[in-house]
């Protein structure tokens, strides 16, 4: 047949021509693309069938071929694609026009996780975002680090911008964590700004990345009411397992056979004494303290929202209640929250709006891992180490006694964990209120002025009460019944003024310019009062006034920040995209000369997918290359670190003639030269879409160089100070991020989407203070350990690596000469840090790296790497008719964990102290082949390889199965939608780690990651839920 | 805009606004005294872990790595803490001395002088503790004001002692006499003179061995003994320590003591642990004590019959329940020696309430008049090549009190407490050395005396042998201090944390 030539013009809804639209004769390979004027020409074999017009961001359109040879058409924007708007600093941008590296969280997916706040479900969702949860306690600190930590001694938390309000360090164990105040169901979008092009607009606070959270606002149309609820159960059935009564007695016998004979073996029944064999205890049932302290804990969530409006006014309101009990008794998290947003168009030119939110959050329960005075004070130590049985001739019921009668309180800090957990009150209440209002005025078409003002106030109360049955309030303590309350208040206000100018220069070029000025000011204060010897226990904290004052604390602080910002976006044909931004910040935290810092960035992106030469590769639906460079800052330092401060602490005085007088002294020397920490980041990214974007790939490589580190540098004791902030040192992070999305199956009834991301980050210290080659850091988990380095930051290596001795099993008989009845260490065998004569067979052995036959600090080396090689997530969503199933996996690979629990529970260091079941196999003369040290054979306090474990894991993190009831049933009930679902969180974890959970990092900081001691176990959660929309 | 960004600290005064009033000066001065009473100094370490000698031993038998048994390394917490606290005192004094002569300070001139003298003395005393424990140490006589100024080399001991003496002598002119106060925790002329005697004795001994210092020591001891100062021995030896338990001040007997006081939060840094870590072991909450220092048999046997100090320095009884009466005093059998504790400070006498378990508010003596008398006698014997009548008299005063002869009704009035007449220089020297131990036992003096006399290692090794052969099996571990002792223990190691940052330092030998 004779080919016919057809032509046409494709425009958008606004009549503007669309370039690069794919025009294909349906079912054939004949096709082309529109030119810059939106015009195409094509020669089909016959004028039959249809032409398919498709372009990214538009609804694909089919036009039947008829007799005509001219086919002008317009494409409507794809509402799906409208969702592809990315919220960036002080504006939004279409993803296709984005020059920077911004990760958007699939919020719908994230909301499937039954968690109190989004950060608990963020891990593995976005490449380059590493989420570390310290432990499993409800409301526990969650540390988010974007593209690796820049700072060494300071917080690496990103800047959070919630509905336009920037907040520094809101995460962590901060009492007033605003993330805890935010119900995940209220979130509309989460965008994570990663490269400097995206973050530099936040200048001095952008270096750690920015998380931009937007909450839901009203949409024009029918008013909808939605009620979403779920109920669930959490539990951890992982038990670390301690010695059973028989193994416990065997251990006691190894430690002290004489005492064991008296206490556990000589039975005295009615004056008749007999001696029991150890085997007697094989039939004795012990107390399982882990079972006693853990529970199957309920959780529930209710979320009610109301939204709607018309062209002029839109509103959205929500109210929610969340209640999660902890899997350790008497702990949990509760939240009551309400939000309201209003948007109103006063005129064509003026738009105003506001939103307000209030949340009341209660966290409660004995912290399991925060005691540092003595590591035996941590709750789970008492759980594991408490005796499973009482003395042979004793009628004491250990479960009911506050202390073990065999524990000497001066030397041993164990206390019945069940009783203390039930009797100590640890409650944090936080009220968080925020309000934002804005006005937007269109001065001219394309020129818009926006001004906003926001205010955030947080009030926290921390209640502590120790009654007479608790560990710190029982009659043997100095303070007896005691308690106290602390009030922490903080507030900040923000004013932002921006002018935006959008100009279409001509058909091919457009320009968008933003300029602005912002001011933010904050203040905080703390007041606390504690009293002891309270006479009326029943009054609880109301009786504080009757006691003897113990201490009063009162502090306050303030800061302010003023900034000028600007950004230019220049776009040629939606193919060549340029962005430049600039911000200058002035901060009250720095002295006059160093006060202002400037943070420029530039980016260029090339959508080469729209170039003619790509048209032949029709399976490539989109392709973009992004490059950016920029400088951002970090001002993470104390509000007044630049000043020398005279402090007058209560324990800084002295007494003369029985009269106590206060004393003052400079608490720190101050450093007026402090200035911003600077991070320069380069990013190269590639975005590719295939098969009409059914397969999408994004790859980014980046390098961040941080210099002028705000380092809380150690000072030598001879200066009279311990630390002082200074700008010194350099750190580099570089990495690779890959994200992949696939619409694997797209059918009428069945749909399968899959997404995958993986991130690699390498962290390297380039320079430390004063040409230091390494910096040692201790982990303060007990007074004994306060000066023993656990981590090393070495120039040329990551900022944190485990540091200690290399284990070498235990001493065997062959290491000794037997002289008389004594074992004397052979002259060529190294001692283990103990005096040579004290070293005995079965004692722990370390590698003598320098060969001087001594084990000391010179034999310490790097013994593990707490930073993962790669982390990532893998998510699959299936839809079949009304059913949907989401399965999400998350992993971390290549990181090590310090399992410090084993230092206390696999060393047999103390009598009447239980140990892990694994310790049953310890070295003894009867078990001479064992490599687990004998009782009391691990005396040198040191970190060593035997307690370093592989912390890699793959977790089946979230599973949700849902069913949407068919419309025909609902219509009769006048209900828009009903969805029932079941979700599970942390369902299964594949790991070699022997502790409760490999996702652990108590006392986390950039220098001290991956430490586990008495960490709260992480629950598995199963919930059923219902979501109704009217 | 800059005004918006000017924030003034809300929680502490700015240095430029400080040191304007007498109150500021007094508060800052208290801050210089503060390190004396910390757990890491006289709150515990100096009279417990660091005071182990032939008199007693750490009876916490489960301790395996500790300063008290000479098994520790360069990152030892207690060594590190002591170092840091002493330098904190130095730094606070430096800042104080840089501001005390401010023109705009409104203060009475005499008070200003007295305050300055106290700061000057305390700084010198902190350096004396540093140099006697560590040898050559870095010296700062100005406060640090540049964060990068961290490297400081060690100053030779001789130079350190020279400025210690110089500053103390200057301070003696500035501070008030002890008669100005009703208590003895303040730095007074008596304190300065007595400590000058102690410093000079140390300089005359190991390691400087500067024999010219004997005369200086003698001079300062004599100065403190001048009748006008009002110092005299308390007739009752045990009352000296009971007073300390009861927060009573005997400014005649005790020239200087570290004062501890009840604080609401029961902090050991303010209350100390005199009598709670040492003292007679008891788990009763009203006299709780770890009883962690036990006496050696050698020291016990060194007391002659009739010397009342023996059964006060150690306990002849222990607490137990007899016929249902708790805390009954049960006498030890004569053969039980190693069980006995350092019992100089007994919590049963403590009056301040409430009594805390791990802390007490019992004061600790740094300088007693009997020490001054014995220092005088020791120096006199060296200066004159033998004991003079004055030297004899000084020692005998101490001994007569020890045998109860100064009491209104002496238990044994006929006893002759005096040293035998006609001792030559060497015998008198030995007698003084012994007398110092008998009189000043467990008062954080013996170990330093042994070191300055150059007999620390030999004495302890000898003692270890003795314990290993004669002590009951359960107390053989008392030999650990001597067993582990080596040449390097004559000085403490410079803490590893200091070595890591202060790059101008060289570690002490063998550490």
Q: For residue B284, what pLDDT band results from cuts at 50, 70 and 90?
A: confident
CB contact under 8 A, B263 and A716: no
Residues B351 and B309 in one domain: yes
CB contact under 8 A, B290 and A408: no
**CB under 8 Å to A972, separation ≥6 — which residues?**
none
Residue A174 has pLDDT above 70, yes or no: no
Which of B317, B340, B356 is the C-terminal boundary of a domain?
A: B356
Burial class (CB in 10 A: 0-12, 13-18, 19+), A527: middle
Over residues B432-436, the mean pLDDT reads 98
Write out the H or E segment, with its range, that includes residue A1008.
none
Distance from CA of A964 to the nearest CA of B (A): 55
A541-600 pLDDT per residue, tens: 999 999 999 889 999 999 999 999 999 999 998 899 999 999 999 999 999 889 999 999
Specify the pLDDT at position A80: 61
- Best mutation target among B2, B3, B6, B7 (most A Cβ atoms within 10 Å) is B7
Specify the pLDDT at position B500: 84
B2 has a chain A CB within 8 A of its CB: yes
A896-944 pLDDT per residue, tens: 999 999 999 999 988 899 999 999 999 999 999 999 999 989 888 899 9
CB A167 within 8 A of CB A160: yes
CB A99 within 8 A of CB A108: no
Q: How far is CA A917 from the centre of its chain?
A: 32
Residues B226 and B347 in one domain: no
- For residue A783, CA distances in Å to A372, A378, B50, B81, B168 come to 7, 13, 19, 12, 37
B290 has a chain A CB within 8 A of its CB: yes
Specify the pLDDT at position A858: 86
Residues B388 and B254 in one domain: yes
Q: How far is CA A395 from the centre of its chain?
A: 48
Residues of B (187-246) whose Cβ lies below 8 Å from A = none
Ranges in chain A annotated CATH 2.170.130.10: 82-218
A936-992 pLDDT per residue, tens: 898 888 999 999 999 999 999 999 999 999 888 888 888 889 999 999 999 999 999
Residue of B nearest to A523 (CA): B10
- Distance separating alpha carbons of residues A656 and B185, to the nearest angstrom: 6
User: Is residue B370 one of the residues assigned to a domain?
Assistant: yes
Specify the pLDDT at position A607: 92
Residues of B (7-66) whose Cβ lies below 8 Å from A = 7, 9-15, 18, 24, 26-34, 36-37, 64-65
CB atoms within 10 A of CB A419: 19
CB A56 within 8 A of CB A574: no
User: Is residue B164 one of the residues assigned to a domain?
Assistant: no
Over residues B211-217, the mean pLDDT reads 97
B473 has a chain A CB within 8 A of its CB: no
Which of B313, B337, B356 is the C-terminal boundary of a domain?
A: B356
User: Domain residues for B318?
Assistant: 274-356
A853: nearest Cα among A813, A819, A816, A825: A825
CB A471 within 8 A of CB A414: no
Q: For residue A50, what pLDDT band results from cuts at 50, 70 and 90?
A: confident
Residue B46 has pLDDT above 80, yes or no: yes
User: Is residue B160 one of the residues assigned to a domain?
Assistant: no
Interface size A-B, in CB pairs within 8 Å, comes to 246
Closest by Cβ to A560, choosing from B5, B149, B359: B5
CB B480 within 8 A of CB B462: no
Ranges in chain A annotated CATH 2.60.40.1120: 6-80
Residue B151 has pLDDT above 60, yes or no: yes
A751-771 pLDDT per residue, tens: 999 999 999 999 999 998 776
pTM: 0.88
User: Is residue B303 one of the residues assigned to a domain?
Assistant: yes
- Distance separating alpha carbons of residues B315 and B294, to the nearest angstrom: 10
Closest by Cβ to B1, choosing from A586, A651, A772: A586
Specify the pLDDT at position A339: 96
Higher per-residue confidence, A413 vs A876: A876
A823-855 pLDDT per residue, tens: 999 999 999 887 787 889 999 999 999 998 988
Question: Phi, psi at residue A495, to the nearest 5°?
Answer: -125, 130
Residues of B (135-194) whose Cβ lies below 8 Å from A = 137-138, 140, 143-145, 147-150, 152, 181-183, 185-186
Specify the pLDDT at position B354: 80
Which of B454, B487, B505 is the C-terminal boundary of a domain?
A: B454
Closest by Cβ to A656, choosing from B11, B183, B266: B183
Percent of chain B with pLDDT over 70: 99
A127-152 pLDDT per residue, tens: 999 998 889 988 888 889 999 999 98
Residue B320 has pLDDT above 80, yes or no: yes
Q: For residue A172, what pLDDT band results from cuts at 50, 70 and 90?
A: very low
CB contact under 8 A, A559 and B7: yes
Residue A848 DSSP label: -
Percent of chain A with pLDDT over 70: 98
A593 has a chain B CB within 8 A of its CB: no
- Distance separating alpha carbons of residues A362 and A349, to the nearest angstrom: 44
CB A127 within 8 A of CB A116: no
Least confident of A558-562, A570-574, B187-191, B255-259: A570-574
- Best mutation target among B9, B25, B26, B183 (most A Cβ atoms within 10 Å) is B9
CA angle B481, B155, B485 (to 5 degrees): 10
What are the strands of the beta sheet with A1011-1012, ordered from one edge?
Answer: A948-950, A896-899, A1011-1012
A639 has a chain B CB within 8 A of its CB: yes
Q: For residue A220, what pLDDT band results from cuts at 50, 70 and 90?
A: confident
A920 has a chain B CB within 8 A of its CB: no
B353 has a chain A CB within 8 A of its CB: no
Which residues sit opposite A1014 in a β-bridge? none
Q: Which residue has the tokens 């009628």?
A: A395
Number of domains into which chain B is organized: 2
Residue A221 has pLDDT above 90, yes or no: no
Specify the pLDDT at position A410: 64
Residue of B nearest to A728 (CA): B148
Residues B283 and B325 in one domain: yes
Distance from CA of A249 to the nearest CA of B (A): 21
ipTM: 0.94
Residues B255 and B280 in one domain: no
Average pLDDT, chain A: 91
A662 has a chain B CB within 8 A of its CB: yes
Distance from CA of A847 to the nearest CA of B (A): 18
Closest by Cβ to A663, choosing from B27, B91, B357: B27
Residue of B nearest to A478 (CA): B356
Residues B427 and B408 in one domain: yes
Sign of CA dihedral A63, A66, A69, A72: negative
Q: Which residues of B touch A588 (CB under 8 A)?
A: 5-7
Q: For residue B385, what pLDDT band results from cuts at 50, 70 and 90?
A: very high
Over residues B347-352, the mean pLDDT reads 91
Query: What is the CATH T-level fold of the domain A6-80, as seen in this structure?
Result: Immunoglobulin-like (2.60.40)
- Which CATH number covers residue B446? 1.25.40.900
Specify the pLDDT at position A662: 93
Q: For residue A434, what pLDDT band results from cuts at 50, 70 and 90?
A: very high
Q: What one-character-per-residue DSSP string does A699-719 give?
A: EEEEEEEEES-EEEEE--GGG
CB B338 within 8 A of CB B250: no
Q: How far is CA A942 from the centre of its chain?
A: 29
Residues B373 and B443 in one domain: yes
- Best mutation target among A532, A665, A776, A935 (most B Cβ atoms within 10 Å) is A665
CB contact under 8 A, A410 and B87: no
Strands annotated E in A100-158 = 102-104, 129-133, 142-146
- Best mutation target among A373, A522, A718, A940 (most B Cβ atoms within 10 Å) is A718
Closest by Cβ to A647, choosing from B12, B80, B288: B12
User: Is residue B87 one of the residues assigned to a domain?
Assistant: no
- For residue A1002, CA distances in Å to A783, A897, A1005, B310 come to 17, 11, 9, 52
Closest by Cβ to A558, choosing from B10, B28, B182: B10
CB contact under 8 A, A660 and B263: yes
Considering only the top CATH level, what class is A82-218?
Answer: mainly beta
Residue B289 has pLDDT above 80, yes or no: yes
Residues B447 and B367 in one domain: yes
Average pLDDT, chain B: 94
CB contact under 8 A, A651 and B84: no
Residue A511 has pLDDT above 80, yes or no: yes
Closest by Cβ to B73, choosing from A562, A835, A857: A857
User: Is residue B223 one of the residues assigned to a domain?
Assistant: yes
A476 has a chain B CB within 8 A of its CB: yes
Q: For residue A219, what pLDDT band results from cuts at 50, 70 and 90?
A: confident
CB contact under 8 A, A654 and B266: no
What number of residues does chain B have?
511
Residues B349 and B205 in one domain: no
Which pair of structure tokens corresponds to residue A1029? Answer: 């929309």
Residues of A (358-397) whose Cβ lies below 8 Å from B = none
Distance from CA of A646 to the nearest CA of B (A): 6
Distance from CA of B323 to the nearest CA of A (A): 22
Specify the pLDDT at position B266: 67
Percent of chain A with pLDDT over 90: 66
CB atoms within 10 A of CB A996: 22
A414: nearest Cα among A460, A373, A380, A450: A380
B461-486 pLDDT per residue, tens: 999 999 999 999 889 999 999 999 99
User: Is residue B406 one of the residues assigned to a domain?
Assistant: yes
A767-805 pLDDT per residue, tens: 987 767 888 899 999 888 887 889 999 999 999 999 999
Which pair of structure tokens corresponds to residue B87? Answer: 């330098």
Closest by Cβ to B30, choosing from A479, A562, A661: A661
């Amino acid at each position: 047949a004779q080919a016919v030539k057809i032509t046409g013009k494709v425009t958008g809804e606004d009549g503007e021509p669309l370039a690069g639209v794919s025009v294909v004769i349906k079912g054939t390979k004949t096709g082309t693309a529109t030119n810059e004027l939106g015009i195409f020409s094509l020669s089909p074999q016959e004028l039959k069938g249809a032409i398919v017009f498709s372009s990214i961001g538009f609804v694909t359109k089919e036009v039947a071929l008829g007799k005509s040879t001219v086919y002008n058409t317009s494409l409507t924007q794809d509402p799906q694609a409208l969702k592809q708007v990315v919220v960036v600093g002080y504006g939004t941008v279409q993803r296709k026009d984005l020059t920077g590296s911004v990760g958007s969280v699939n919020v719908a997916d994230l909301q499937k996780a039954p968690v109190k706040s989004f950060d608990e479900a963020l891990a593995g969702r976005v490449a380059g975002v590493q989420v570390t949860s310290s432990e499993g306690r409800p409301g526990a600190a969650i540390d988010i680090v974007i593209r690796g930590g820049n700072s060494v001694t300071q917080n690496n938390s990103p800047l959070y911008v919630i509905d336009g309000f920037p907040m520094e360090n809101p995460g962590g164990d901060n009492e007033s964590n605003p993330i805890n105040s935010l119900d995940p169901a209220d979130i509309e979008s989460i965008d994570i700004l990663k490269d400097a092009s995206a973050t530099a607009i936040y200048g001095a606070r952008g270096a750690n990345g920015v998380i931009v959270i937007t909450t839901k606002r009203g949409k024009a149309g029918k008013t909808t009411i939605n009620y979403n609820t779920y109920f669930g159960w959490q539990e951890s059935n992982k038990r670390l397992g301690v010695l059973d009564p028989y193994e416990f007695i065997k251990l006691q016998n190894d430690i002290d056979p004489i005492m064991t004979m008296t206490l556990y073996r000589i039975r005295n029944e009615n004056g008749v004494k007999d001696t029991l064999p150890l085997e007697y205890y094989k039939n004795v049932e012990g107390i399982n303290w882990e079972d006693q302290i853990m529970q199957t804990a309920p959780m529930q969530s209710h979320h009610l929202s109301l939204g709607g409006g018309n062209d002029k006014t839109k509103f959205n309101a929500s109210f929610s209640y969340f209640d999660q009990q902890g899997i350790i008794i008497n702990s949990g998290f509760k939240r009551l929250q309400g939000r309201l947003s209003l948007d109103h168009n006063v005129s064509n030119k003026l738009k105003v709006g506001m939103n307000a939110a209030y949340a009341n959050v209660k966290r409660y329960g004995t912290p399991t891992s925060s005691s540092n005075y003595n590591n035996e004070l941590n709750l789970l130590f008492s759980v594991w180490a408490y005796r499973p049985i009482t003395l042979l001739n004793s009628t004491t019921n250990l479960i009911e006694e506050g202390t073990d009668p065999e524990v000497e309180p001066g030397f041993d800090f164990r206390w019945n964990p069940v009783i203390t957990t039930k009797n100590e009150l640890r409650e944090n209440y936080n009220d968080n209120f925020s309000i934002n209002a804005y006005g937007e005025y269109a001065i001219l078409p394309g020129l818009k002025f926006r001004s906003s003002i926001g205010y955030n106030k947080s009030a926290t109360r921390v209640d502590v009460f120790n009654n007479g049955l608790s560990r710190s309030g029982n009659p043997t303590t100095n303070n007896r019944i005691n308690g106290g309350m602390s009030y922490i208040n903080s507030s900040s206000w923000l004013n932002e003024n921006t002018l935006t100018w959008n100009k279409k220069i001509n058909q091919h070029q457009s320009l968008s310019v933003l300029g602005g000025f912002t001011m933010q000011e904050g203040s905080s204060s703390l007041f606390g009062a504690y009293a002891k010897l309270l006479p009326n226990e029943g009054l609880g904290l109301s009786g504080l006034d009757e006691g003897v004052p113990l201490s009063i604390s009162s502090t306050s602080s303030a800061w302010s920040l003023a900034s000028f910002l600007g950004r230019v976006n220049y776009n040629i044909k939606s193919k060549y995209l340029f962005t430049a931004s600039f911000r200058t910040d002035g901060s009250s935290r720095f002295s006059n000369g160093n006060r202002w810092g400037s943070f420029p960035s530039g980016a260029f992106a090339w959508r080469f997918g729209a170039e003619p030469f790509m048209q032949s590769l029709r399976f490539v639906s989109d392709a973009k290359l992004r490059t950016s460079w920029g400088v951002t800052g970090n001002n993470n330092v104390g509000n007044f670190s630049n000043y020398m401060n005279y402090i007058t602490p209560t324990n800084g005085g002295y007494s003369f003639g029985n009269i106590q007088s206060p004393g003052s002294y400079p608490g720190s020397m101050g450093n007026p030269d402090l200035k911003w920490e600077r991070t320069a980041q380069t990013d190269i990214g590639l975005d590719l879409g295939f098969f009409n974007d059914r397969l999408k790939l994004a790859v980014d490589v980046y390098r961040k160089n941080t210099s002028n580190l705000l380092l809380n540098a150690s000072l030598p004791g001879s200066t009279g100070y311990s630390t002082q902030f200074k700008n010194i040192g350099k750190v580099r992070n570089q990495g690779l991020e890959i994200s992949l999305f696939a619409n694997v199956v797209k059918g009428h009834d069945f749909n399968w989407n899959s997404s995958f991301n993986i991130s690699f980050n390498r962290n390297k210290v380039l320079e430390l203070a004063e040409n230091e080659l390494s910096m040692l850091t201790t982990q303060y988990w007990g007074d004994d350990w306060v000066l023993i380095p656990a981590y090393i930051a070495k120039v040329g290596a990551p900022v944190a690596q485990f540091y200690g001795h290399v284990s070498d099993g235990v001493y065997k008989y062959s290491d000794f000469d037997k002289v008389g009845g004594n074992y004397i260490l052979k002259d060529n065998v190294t001692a283990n840090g103990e005096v040579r004569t004290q070293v005995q067979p079965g004692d722990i052995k370390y590698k003598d790296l320098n060969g001087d036959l001594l084990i000391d600090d010179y034999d310490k080396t790097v013994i593990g790497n707490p930073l993962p090689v790669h982390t990532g997530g893998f998510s699959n969503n299936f839809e079949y008719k009304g059913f949907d199933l989401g399965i999400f996996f998350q992993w971390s690979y290549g990181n090590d964990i310090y399992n410090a629990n084993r230092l206390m529970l696999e060393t047999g260091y103390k009598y009447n102290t239980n140990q892990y079941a694994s310790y049953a196999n310890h070295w003894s003369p009867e078990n001479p082949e064992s490599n687990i040290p004998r009782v009391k054979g691990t005396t040198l306090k040191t970190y060593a390889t035997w307690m370093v474990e592989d912390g890699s894991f793959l977790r089946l993190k979230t599973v949700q199965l849902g069913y949407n009831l068919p419309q025909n049933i609902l219509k009769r009930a006048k209900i828009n939608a009903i969805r029932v679902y079941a979700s599970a969180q942390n369902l299964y974890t594949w790991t070699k780690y022997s502790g409760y959970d490999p996702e652990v990092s108590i006392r986390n900081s950039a220098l001290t990651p991956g430490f586990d001691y008495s960490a709260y176990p992480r629950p598995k959660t199963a919930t059923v839920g219902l979501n109704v929309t009217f | 805009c800059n005004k918006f960004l000017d924030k003034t600290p809300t929680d502490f005064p700015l240095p430029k606004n400080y040191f304007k009033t007498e109150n500021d000066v007094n508060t800052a001065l208290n801050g210089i005294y503060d390190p004396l009473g910390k757990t890491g100094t006289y709150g515990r370490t100096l009279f417990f872990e660091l005071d182990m000698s032939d008199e007693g031993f750490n009876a916490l038998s489960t301790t395996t790595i500790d300063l008290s048994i000479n098994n520790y390394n360069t990152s030892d917490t207690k060594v590190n803490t002591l170092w840091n606290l002493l330098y904190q005192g130095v730094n606070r004094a430096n800042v104080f001395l840089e501001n005390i002569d401010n023109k705009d300070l409104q203060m009475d001139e005499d008070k200003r002088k007295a305050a300055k003298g106290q700061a000057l003395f305390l700084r010198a005393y902190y350096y004396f503790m540093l140099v006697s424990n560590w040898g050559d140490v870095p010296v700062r006589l100005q406060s640090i004001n540049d964060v990068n100024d961290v490297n400081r080399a060690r100053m030779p001991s001789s130079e350190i002692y020279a400025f210690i003496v110089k500053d103390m002598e200057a301070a003696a002119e500035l501070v008030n006499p002890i008669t100005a106060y009703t208590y003895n925790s303040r730095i007074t002329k008596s304190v300065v003179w007595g400590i000058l005697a102690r410093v000079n004795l140390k300089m005359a001994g190991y390691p400087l061995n500067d024999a010219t210092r004997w005369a200086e020591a003698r001079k300062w001891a004599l100065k403190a003994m001048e009748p006008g100062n009002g110092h005299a021995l308390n007739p009752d030896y045990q009352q000296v320590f009971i007073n300390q338990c009861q927060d009573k001040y005997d400014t005649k007997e005790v020239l200087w003591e570290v004062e501890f006081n009840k604080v609401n939060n029961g902090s050991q840094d303010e209350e100390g642990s005199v009598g709670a870590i040492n003292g007679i072991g008891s788990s009763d909450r009203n006299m709780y004590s770890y009883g962690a220092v036990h006496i050696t048999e050698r020291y016990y046997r060194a007391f002659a019959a009739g010397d009342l100090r023996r059964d006060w320095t150690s306990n002849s009884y222990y607490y137990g329940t007899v016929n249902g009466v708790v805390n009954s005093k049960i006498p030890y059998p004569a053969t039980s020696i190693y069980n006995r504790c350092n019992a100089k400070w007994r919590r049963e006498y403590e009056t301040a309430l409430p009594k805390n378990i791990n802390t007490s508010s019992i004061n600790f003596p740094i300088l007693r008049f009997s020490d001054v008398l014995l220092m005088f006698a020791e120096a006199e014997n060296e200066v004159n090549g033998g004991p003079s009548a004055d030297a004899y008299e000084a020692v005998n005063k101490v001994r007569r009190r020890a045998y109860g002869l100064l009491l209104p009704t002496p238990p044994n009035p006929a006893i002759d407490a005096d040293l035998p007449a006609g001792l030559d220089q060497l015998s008198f020297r030995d007698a003084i050395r012994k007398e110092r131990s008998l009189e000043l036992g467990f008062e954080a003096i013996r170990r330093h005396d042994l070191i300055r006399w150059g007999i620390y290692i030999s004495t302890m090794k000898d003692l270890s042998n003795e314990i290993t052969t004669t002590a009951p099996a359960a107390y053989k571990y008392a030999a650990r201090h001597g067993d582990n002792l080596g040449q390097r223990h004559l000085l403490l190691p410079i803490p590893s944390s200091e070595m890591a940052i202060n790059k101008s330092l060289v570690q002490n030998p063998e550490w």
